[in-house]
């Protein structure tokens, strides 16, 4: 979340940035933050003044008793009792202001980086890179939801029977292809210097607050209410929270983590042809990369992470494009986000397969994730970054559609050692 000093020192810049992100209540909310902070500071000063008066009166009581001035000592005792009562009232008020301020700060999105373009819709995002060639498929080419039936790779009906819509059952070569992609992505991350983690799939409320998924305004997280735990929407949440309340040495940075997990998203309100088959699921697999960095290094690292993800797409021989999201299409917590999309040959549309984002200090301020500079300066908030490398469902959709031939579905060369087969045949 934004810090109060960050808001006070850069008020106009913060408001301008929030308006770029289409946060309509920007000016009103920032003014409310500053008013609450003023009230909190004023109350704190009153309490501090009372404490100083109490300490002085308590000292005076002993002196008056030694001097035999019992009546004056008793009056001082009565004043100390009054001060304690007033101080308690101020303490309660101070706690109330602090809680109100914290809850209000939770509602304010991150300020976008200056490179973020203006815009409100996906159509206003800016393409910054393309790679690969779109396949030339015959008019009879099938979309992936037909191919998975024809080749018996995934069973959506069984998933509906067991759980509900959006929870597919992978089987046979479909399951093997899924496992191959996971291992391929993990091995590529390990080769790039990431350390692998296998985190829990449920997190507590503090973890959701730490990375900005809570308060969950859109109702996208599955909530296990009996234990007040949340199914993770991405491995970003548990992996980044490994470093909650941690002070790292500067020499430890950057920290590079990778993890494979299933991901769970309610996707409330999703419907229509664009969510058919693997295009949008409630449960899906993803390999996530996370880095913790010094502020001066984080945007160089963001580009490295973007190149890592696009390198995977190149190895998978998938045509792709990279877009930088405009202010109105960005996530709540991000300062700058690249989306990576692959071309779906049979659907003839771009499918998002990765978001690579820099959160600057937005998450680390919530997490109290800091590092100690080697020069002996005070502890500093680190920058956090993460990216999908990669999300599997739409990758599989594009591989199936783009790789279809009269003989079967061709597997990219880089993936063949992981699959154990070169073609998927009927």
- Give the annotated binding-site residues for L-serine: 234, 265, 288, 386
Annotated binding site: 234, 265-267, 288, 352-355, 386
Between vectors from CA 347 to CA 346 and to CA 353, what angle results, nearest 5°?
105
Instruction: Look at residues 333, 282, 284, 409 and name the one whose alpha carbon lies nearest to residue 107.
Output: 333
CA–CA distance, 249 with 372 (Å, rounded to integer): 5
Between vectors from CA 72 to CA 70 and to CA 75, what angle results, nearest 5°?
110
37 token code pair:
């902070």
Annotated binding site for ATP: 265-267, 352-355
Side-chain-side CA neighbours of 272 within 13 Å: the count stands at: 5
CA–CA distance, 322 with 116 (Å, rounded to integer): 14
Within 10 A of 49 (CB to CB), how many other CB atoms are there?
A: 13
Instruction: Look at residues 285, 260, 262 and name the one whose alpha carbon lies nearest to residue 197.
Output: 260
How is 317-342 classified by DSSP, letter by letter? T--EEEEEPPGGGS-SS-SEEEEEEE
338 token code pair:
């690249």
Q: Tokens 């003014």 map to which residue? A: 31
Rg (CA), the chain: 28
Q: How far is CA 40 from the centre of its chain?
A: 30
39 token code pair:
């009230």
Contacts of residue 231, Cβ cutoff 8 Å, sequence gap at least 6: 201, 202, 221, 222, 223, 224, 264
231 token code pair:
């199914």
CA distances from 354 to 40, 142, 248, 322, 399 (A): 42, 24, 28, 9, 15
Within 10 A of 363 (CB to CB), how many other CB atoms are there?
A: 28
DSSP lists the bridge partners of residue 263 as: 284
CA–CA distance, 381 with 377 (Å, rounded to integer): 12
Q: What is the DSSP letter of 413?
A: G
Residue 311: phi and psi, rounded to 5, are: -60, -35
């Amino acid at each position: 979340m934004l810090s109060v000093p960050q808001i006070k020192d850069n008020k106009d810049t913060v408001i301008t940035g929030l308006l770029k992100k289409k946060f309509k209540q920007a000016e009103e909310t920032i003014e409310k933050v500053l008013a609450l902070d003023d009230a909190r500071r004023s109350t704190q000063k009153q309490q501090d003044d009372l404490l100083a008066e109490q300490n002085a009166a308590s000292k005076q009581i002993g002196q008056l008793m030694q001097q035999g001035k019992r009546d004056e000592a008793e009056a001082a005792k009565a004043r100390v009792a009054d001060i304690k009562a007033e101080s308690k009232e101020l303490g309660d008020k101070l706690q109330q202001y602090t809680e109100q301020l914290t809850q209000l700060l939770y509602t304010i999105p991150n300020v976008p980086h200056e490179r973020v373009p203006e815009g409100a819709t996906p159509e206003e995002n800016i393409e910054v890179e393309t790679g690969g060639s779109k396949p030339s498929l015959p008019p009879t080419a099938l979309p992936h939801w037909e191919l998975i039936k024809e080749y018996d790779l995934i069973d959506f009906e069984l998933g509906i029977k067991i759980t509900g819509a959006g929870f597919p059952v992978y089987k046979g070569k479909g399951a093997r292809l899924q496992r191959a992609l996971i291992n391929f992505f993990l091995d590529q991350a390990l080769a790039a210097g990431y350390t692998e983690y296998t985190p829990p799939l449920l997190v507590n409320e503090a973890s959701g607050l730490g990375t900005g998924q809570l308060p969950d305004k859109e109702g996208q997280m599955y909530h296990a209410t009996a234990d007040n735990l949340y199914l993770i929407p991405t491995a970003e949440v548990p992996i980044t929270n490994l470093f909650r309340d941690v002070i790292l040495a500067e020499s430890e940075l950057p920290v590079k983590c990778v993890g494979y997990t299933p991901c769970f998203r309610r996707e409330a309100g999703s419907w229509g042809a664009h969510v058919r088959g693997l295009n949008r699921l409630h449960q899906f697999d993803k390999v996530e990369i996370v880095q913790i960095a010094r502020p001066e290094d984080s945007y160089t690292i963001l580009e490295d992470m973007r190149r890592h993800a696009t390198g995977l797409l190149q190895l998978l021989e998938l045509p792709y494009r990279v877009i930088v999201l405009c202010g109105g299409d960005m996530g709540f917590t991000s300062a700058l986000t690249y989306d990576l999309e692959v071309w779906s040959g049979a659907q003839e549309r771009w499918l998002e397969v990765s978001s690579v984002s820099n959160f600057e200090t937005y998450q680390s301020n919530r997490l109290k994730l800091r590092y100690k500079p080697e020069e002996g300066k005070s502890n500093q908030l680190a920058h956090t970054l993460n990216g999908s490398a990669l999300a599997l469902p739409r990758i599989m959709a594009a591989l199936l559609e783009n790789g279809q031939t009269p003989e079967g579905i061709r597997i990219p060369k880089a993936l063949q050692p992981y699959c154990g087969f070169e073609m998927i045949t009927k």
